[in-house]
A and B are shown apart, each in its own frame.
Chain A
Amino acid sequence: MSVARFWRKQVQRYNLVGTHCKSCDEYFYPPRNMCPTCRRNGKIESYKFNGDGEVISFTVIRTAAVGFEHQTPYILAIVQLKEGPKLTTQISCGIDEIYLGMKVKPVFRKLGDGGEKGMIYYGTKFIAAE
């Protein structure tokens, strides 16, 4: 991903900042500026999640996505935050320690890099809450 494209959402990726629609009280992460329920009548504000969440589903990736080869096996999961939105993330734990319904909390981690001369991407992964 290009530097500019990553940089535009750096705050949101680093600090788990999404959005909230004041009209219908729905929360969004990844952030959305158009509420799917209220559309043009939505009143969108920025919202920082504290990141308490739960594992909805997960997999252990053994054939990596391009750029993630050295991380295999890694755990990919869908996590639901307590305010409601769900997101795709990695869980930092042993591949035998993860389970459905596991309570998790966010951590700041390296996501990947653009090769030897590319930038390093940081963002939010999750670990067990206890």
Chain B
Amino acid sequence: MRDVAIIGVKNTNFGEKWDVSFRDIFVEAGAGSLQDAGVAGEDIDGLYVGNMSGGQFVEQEHIGALIADYSGLAKNLNVPSTRVEAACASGGLALRQAIFGVASGYQDIVVAAGVEKMTDVSSAVASAALAAASDREWEGIMGATFPGLYAMIARLHMHKYGTTSEQMAEVAVKNHSNGFLNPISQYRRKITVEDVLSSILVADPLHILDCSPITDGASSLVLAPADIAHEYTDTPVYIKASSQASDTISLHDRKDITTLDSTVAAANRAYEMAKMKPNDIDLVEVHDCFTIAEICAIEDLGFVKKGQGGSFTQEGETSIGGKIPVNTSGGLKSCGHPVGATGIKQAVEVVHQLRGEAGKRQLDNANIGMTHNVGGSGATAVVHILARDR
């Protein structure tokens, strides 16, 4: 198996992008990443695109081919293009498929991208599309929503571990504080704990400001074999681990709903593959679709003991300058959550940090970073470890 490096990255701005289309944002991200890598269309051996629900959000399937076409890679070059779907983990999984292509030796220069255009439909239609990531037949039919499922996780986490609404609010406050410093963020504004607690309840105990938004956006990475990465860039970032795990589609079938066993399994596999431990990681982008999800994530990834994620956050240990900075991009909460793009955007942020290009949110010693991307209420988890040194 060959070592793999990231040689180019690009995010579009995230937000409600009414003036541009699904194809526009994909082309912007894809072309930007090729420009960053100094790669021409003729060099590309394949595209892998994370997209959760083009069918419901823009009434378009066959996303892979569409993207190859409008990126100018179909008509003359006939570049193969594959759409990858695992709900909100589609992006992370697209990266993983692209890594397989390069690591196996089957392909050399590969694009791993993600895209979602969610605001062309009403928020009700968008919510229904997202709900399809849970069990339609045994959760959805009872009136379950995603905030509702995570609210039940939050309720039990509070009961078992004493986690508080204030501690969950601190996750949102911290992510907005980071997102304020990120030029691509959907919400570039700071909020307070009081703002979160006084916002409307969506599903008790979660307020609207505990929830990630509906977002348009695209992100793209260019991968190459590590042996030739320096031909394209002075600052390649190396893939040290790529892992994935599954769990039951329904939240109710889990042994303990406050632990995402898929995250635990994916993290253990990643640490083993990279020969690393949690304290080797300098920063992590976790899947904070809801504030409670970030608390569970930092516990399940091994950064803090189970049950202590809330107090750890409240003490500032996940902020920039803390023990383990979490979601320097602003996370899904403030930067935005275009579901198919999120897993790729997380890797773009880690690359920016490892290259020292993260602007006002730059960390001092960023050598090794992790990404953690979750599908549904935890039926899929994808973890990557990226490093400056090979």
Report A's interface with B, CB cutoff 8 A: 1, 5, 9, 30, 56-68, 71, 74, 76-78, 86-90, 100, 111-112, 121, 123
- Chain A binder among B13-21, B149-157, B349-357: B149-157
**Chain B residue with minimal CB distance to A13?**
B141
Q: Establish whether residues B203 and A88, one from each chain, have CB atoms under 8 Å apart when the complex forms.
A: no
Q: Establish whether residues A58 and B145, one from each chain, have CB atoms under 8 Å apart when the complex forms.
A: no
B304 within 8 A of A: no
**Chain B residue with minimal CB distance to A95?**
B204
**Chain B residue with minimal CB distance to A69?**
B124
Q: Establish whether residues B201 and A56, one from each chain, have CB atoms under 8 Å apart when the complex forms.
A: no
> A9 to B135, alpha carbons, bound, how many Å?
14
Q: List 6 A-B contacts (CB under 8 A).
A: A57-B257, A61-B145, A62-B202, A64-B145, A65-B143, A71-B143
In the complex, chain A residues whose CB is within 8 Å of the CB of B125:
66
Least distance between B189 CB and chain A CB atoms (Å): 22
In the complex, chain A residues whose CB is within 8 Å of the CB of B54:
none
Report B's interface with A, CB cutoff 8 A: 124-125, 127-128, 131, 135-145, 147-148, 151-153, 155-156, 159, 200-206, 250-253, 257
Question: Which of B125, B128, B155: most chain A Cβ within 10 A?
Answer: B155
In the complex, chain B residues whose CB is within 8 Å of the CB of A87:
138, 252
Known: A78-B252, A86-B252, A87-B252. A61 touches B148 (CB 8 A): yes
Q: Establish whether residues B140 and A59, one from each chain, have CB atoms under 8 Å apart when the complex forms.
A: no
**Chain A residue with minimal CB distance to B127?**
A66
**Chain A residue with minimal CB distance to B123?**
A63
Q: Establish whether residues B124 and A86, one from each chain, have CB atoms under 8 Å apart when the complex forms.
A: no
Of B137, B140, B155, the residue contacting A58 (CB under 8 A) is: B155
> A62 to B366, alpha carbons, bound, how many Å?
42
**Chain B residue with minimal CB distance to A87?**
B252
In the complex, chain A residues whose CB is within 8 Å of the CB of B202:
62-63
Q: Establish whether residues B148 and A9, one from each chain, have CB atoms under 8 Å apart when the complex forms.
A: no
In the complex, chain A residues whose CB is within 8 Å of the CB of B203:
59-63, 76
Chain A contact surface mostly: strand
In the complex, chain B residues whose CB is within 8 Å of the CB of A74:
143
In the complex, chain A residues whose CB is within 8 Å of the CB of B148:
59, 61, 65, 76
Q: Establish whether residues A88 and B138, one from each chain, have CB atoms under 8 Å apart when the complex forms.
A: yes
In the complex, chain B residues whose CB is within 8 Å of the CB of A86:
252-253
**Chain B residue with minimal CB distance to A124?**
B142
In the complex, chain B residues whose CB is within 8 Å of the CB of A64:
143, 145
> A47 to B135, alpha carbons, bound, how many Å?
22
Known: A1-B136, A65-B140, A78-B152. A88 touches B145 (CB 8 A): no
> A89 to B143, alpha carbons, bound, how many Å?
8
In the complex, chain B residues whose CB is within 8 Å of the CB of A90:
142-143
Q: Establish whether residues A62 and B152, one from each chain, have CB atoms under 8 Å apart when the complex forms.
A: no
In the complex, chain A residues whose CB is within 8 Å of the CB of B143:
61, 64-65, 67-68, 71, 74, 76, 90, 111-112
Of B200, B204, B251, the residue contacting A78 (CB under 8 A) is: B251
**Chain A residue with minimal CB distance to B153?**
A57
**Chain A residue with minimal CB distance to B140?**
A65
Least distance between A120 CB and chain B CB atoms (Å): 13
> A59 to B143, alpha carbons, bound, how many Å?
11
Q: Establish whether residues A56 and B156, one from each chain, have CB atoms under 8 Å apart when the complex forms.
A: yes
Known: A30-B137, A63-B147. A88 touches B251 (CB 8 A): yes
In the complex, chain A residues whose CB is within 8 Å of the CB of B156:
56-57, 100
Least distance between A41 CB and chain B CB atoms (Å): 20
Least distance between B215 CB and chain A CB atoms (Å): 18
> A89 to B144, alpha carbons, bound, how many Å?
8
> A61 to B159, alpha carbons, bound, how many Å?
19
**Chain A residue with minimal CB distance to B254?**
A86
Question: Which of A59, A89, A123: most chain B Cβ within 10 A?
Answer: A59
Q: Establish whether residues A62 and B251, one from each chain, have CB atoms under 8 Å apart when the complex forms.
A: no
Least distance between B78 CB and chain A CB atoms (Å): 39
> A112 to B144, alpha carbons, bound, how many Å?
12
> A54 to B326, alpha carbons, bound, how many Å?
36
Least distance between B201 CB and chain A CB atoms (Å): 5
Instruction: Return the 4 tightest CB-CB contacts between A and B, nearest first.
Output: A59-B151, A57-B152, A68-B143, A86-B252
Q: Establish whether residues B144 and A9, one from each chain, have CB atoms under 8 Å apart when the complex forms.
A: no
Least distance between B297 CB and chain A CB atoms (Å): 19
> A62 to B147, alpha carbons, bound, how many Å?
10
In the complex, chain A residues whose CB is within 8 Å of the CB of B151:
59
In the complex, chain B residues whose CB is within 8 Å of the CB of A89:
142
Question: Which of B144, B148, B155, B203: most chain A Cβ within 10 A?
Answer: B148
